[in-house]
């Protein structure tokens, strides 16, 4: 028992997920048996999250102070209490930061049943979901260990807490509820731990829940997270060493302890070793830091991009890869000077009505919301040169976010799979691009019997916090328009709303108002630019013929 306590104090705060993912359960198993006997004289479980954020005095009043062998630490800075009936608490005099629930030591009796967010040990998770629909949406991470134990991790943005739920054959065997800051979870979710390490695709799949992969001759790119292609990790093909990591979405993963939406002042204080500060277009500031992570093979360079004081992207690059990128480029022949055509494009945006401007903003948001065109392997930005895979992915993920409720459903023959009919995919591609495609399986989506299918655990995220604002709309005098588009991130957390919720619809509609008219514009974070060329189709609808992501942070 005291050995376990020592190990707790010696935990390295920077290590890969694979080395620390099951830490809290392994620590508990070292001192507690997985088979416990709980006798309950009170049918109502005692809800442990009521203690979260409260004082140590309140904990002792409700649970008592454990006997000395179970007090791992108790001083003026913090305490670490383990109770023989399976409850573990960490905190200080004024604040409970971590709560864990596992089976108690064999033979230990308790007259109480304990729960965390209504979850009790031994309960069937599927039954809980059936009885409490809508309580849990898709987890931020859903992982299965080699032993068959499943860990679902949920992040509550509003409370900034993490629920880590451990099941075996769908029976709940452990629950952990922690405040993100300074928790073991926050250290395991620090992606800087990967830089310089060799990690296989299967390991990344097991640890990050990779959603799609793009393989190249020199490097492989893996996308992960709840928004498609917003976060990625790159490895070289020779030895699988991680060279570069980028996060642009959500507040779940972090790099060097910093997350999207944090203040740049906080990042500067935490990362401390500032190399340079530069300004980019649109008021974006880039602060570059050196970061040393003890358990990695290489130091890294971290670029923190911010807009109006808030972080919009964080990129970590191994020092060697970063140095290579600074090598002088081979001089090329200067391009031939082309004569300016007689018909100079004119900006038509100011002449449009408010309704027309909102329609265009909504139109281009359908692309930015699913990160269309952000693949690093797209070189020719003409839509006719885009791969079929990119168009199919756009159609599926666009329907997931903007389609009708019946655009996808559970597979009646396999309830662990979601499906979407091929006609819905073809219709979207034809409508937005005027292109007919041959249906096929792509990374992350399997095509079979006229349906595209994907794992139900990924679910389908009904909304994206990314949206577009047209900045200029140039008439090219040849029947086409060139749209210069700013991509923004809505930093507000509206929680989960049904599509017909009036408060949600009102909050979302503000995104499409021209920025100067948006009353919530201060919550919009600029993250990139796009240039697109559109023209009228035979049905008089606008179709995209060229789409270039010029920058994305």
DSSP state string for 89-131: EEEETTEEEEEEEEPPPTT---S--EEETTEETT-BHHHHHHH
Q: What is the pLDDT of residue 394?
A: 94
What averages of pLDDT result for each successive group of 10 residues across the chain (553 residues)?
A: 34 48 46 40 77 88 90 89 92 91 80 89 91 82 84 89 93 94 88 88 84 84 78 88 88 91 91 88 86 68 90 87 50 53 78 90 92 82 90 91 77 87 94 94 90 76 77 91 90 55 69 62 77 92 93 73
Q: Tell me how far the alpha carbon of residue 372 is from its chain's centroid.
A: 17
If one counts every other C-beta atom within 10 angstroms of the C-beta of residue 509, the result is 12
Is the alpha carbon torsion for 524, 526, 527, 528 positive or negative? Answer: positive
Structure tokens at 20: 């620390």
What pLDDT sits at residue 26? Answer: 47
**Cα separations (Å) of 231 from 315, 524, 550?**
10, 19, 17
Who's near 75: CB < 8 A, 6+ residues apart? Answer: none
- Within 10 angstroms of residue 381's Cβ, the number of other Cβ atoms is 18
> Phi, psi at residue 510, to the nearest 5°?
-60, -30
Look at residue 343 in the predicted model and tell me its pLDDT. 64
Per-position b or e across 447-481, b if 16+ CB within 10 A of its CB = eeeebbbbebebbbbbbbbbbbbbbbbbbeeeeeb
Q: Quick check: helix, strand or coil at residue 235?
A: strand
pLDDT of residue 504: 65
What is residue 231's predicted lDDT score, i.e. its pLDDT? 86
Q: Are 138 and 145 in contact (CB under 8 A)?
A: no
Let me know: does 448 contact 505? Beta carbons within 8 Å: no
Beta bridge partners of 547: 532
d(CA 123, CA 129): 11
Check if the beta carbon of residue 475 is closer than 8 Å to that of residue 346.
yes
Verdict on whether the full-model pTM lies above 0.85? no
Q: How far is CA 39 from CA 42, 109, 124, 206, 483, in A?
A: 9, 6, 19, 37, 67
For the chain, what's the residue count? 553
Euclidean distance between CA atoms 542 and 539, whole angstroms:
9
- What is the pLDDT at residue 244? 92
Over the Cα atoms of the chain, what is R_g?
26
Q: By three-state DSSP, how is residue 486 classified?
A: strand
How many helices (H) and strands (E) would you count in the chain? Answer: 13, 28
Structure tokens at 212: 């799609």
CA–CA separation, 247 vs 298, rounded Å? Answer: 19
Backbone angles phi, psi at 333, to 5 degrees: -65, 135
């Amino acid at each position: 028992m005291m050995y376990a306590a020592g190990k707790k104090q010696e935990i390295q705060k920077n290590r890969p997920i694979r080395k620390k993912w099951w830490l809290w359960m392994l620590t508990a198993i070292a001192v507690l048996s997985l088979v416990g006997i709980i006798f309950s004289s009170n049918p109502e479980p005692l809800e442990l999250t009521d203690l979260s954020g409260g004082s140590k005095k309140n904990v002792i009043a409700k649970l008592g102070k454990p006997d000395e062998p179970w007090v791992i630490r108790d001083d003026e800075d913090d305490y670490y209490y383990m109770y023989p009936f399976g409850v573990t608490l960490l905190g200080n005099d004024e604040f409970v930061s971590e709560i864990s629930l596992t089976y108690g030591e064999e033979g230990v009796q308790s007259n109480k049943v304990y729960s965390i967010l209504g979850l009790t040990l031994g309960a069937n998770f599927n039954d809980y979901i059936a009885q409490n629909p809508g309580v849990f949406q898709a987890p931020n991470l859903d992982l299965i260990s080699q032993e068959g134990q499943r860990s679902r991790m949920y992040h509550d943005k509003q409370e900034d807490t993490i629920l880590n739920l451990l099941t075996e054959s769908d029976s709940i065997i452990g629950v952990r509820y922690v405040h993100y800051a300074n928790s073991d979870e926050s250290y395991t979710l620090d992606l800087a731990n990967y830089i310089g390490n060799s990690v296989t695709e299967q390991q990344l799949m097991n640890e990050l829940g990779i959603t799609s992969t793009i393989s190249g001759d020199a490097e492989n790119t893996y996308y992960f997270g709840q928004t498609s292609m917003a976060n990625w990790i790159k490895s070289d093909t020779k030895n699988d060493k991680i060279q570069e990591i980028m996060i642009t979405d959500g507040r779940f993963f972090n790099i060097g302890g910093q997350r999207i939406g944090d203040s740049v002042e906080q990042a500067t204080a935490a990362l401390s070793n500032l190399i340079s500060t530069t300004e980019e277009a649109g008021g974006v500031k880039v602060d570059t830091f050196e970061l040393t992570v003890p358990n990695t093979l290489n130091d890294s360079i971290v670029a923190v991009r911010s807009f109006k004081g808030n972080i919009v992207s964080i990129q970590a690059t191994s020092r060697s890869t970063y140095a290579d990128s600074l090598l002088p480029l081979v001089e090329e022949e200067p391009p031939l000077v082309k004569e300016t055509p007689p018909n100079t494009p004119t900006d038509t945006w100011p002449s449009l009505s408010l309704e027309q401007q909102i329609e265009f903003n909504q139109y281009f948001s359908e692309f930015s919301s699913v990160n269309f065109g952000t693949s690093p392997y797209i070189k020719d930005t003409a839509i006719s040169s885009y791969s079929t895979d990119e168009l199919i992915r756009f159609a599926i993920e666009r329907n997931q976010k903007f389609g009708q409720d019946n655009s996808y459903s559970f597979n009646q023959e396999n309830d662990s799979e979601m499906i979407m009919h091929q006609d819905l995919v073809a219709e979207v591609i034809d409508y937005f691009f005027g292109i007919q495609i041959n249906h096929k399986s792509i990374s992350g989506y399997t095509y079979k019997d006229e349906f595209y299918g994907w794992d139900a655990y990924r679910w389908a995220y009904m909304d994206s916090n990314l949206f577009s604002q047209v900045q200029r709309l140039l008439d090219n005098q040849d029947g086409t328009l060139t749209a210069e588009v700013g991509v923004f991130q809505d930093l507000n957390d509206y929680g989960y709303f049904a599509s017909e919720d009036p408060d949600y619809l009102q909050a979302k509609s503000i995104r499409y108002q021209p920025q100067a008219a948006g009353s919530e514009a201060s919550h919009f974070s600029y993250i990139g630019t796009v240039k697109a060329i559109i023209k009228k189709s035979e049905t008089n609808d606008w179709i995209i013929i060229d789409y270039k992501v010029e920058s994305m942070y």
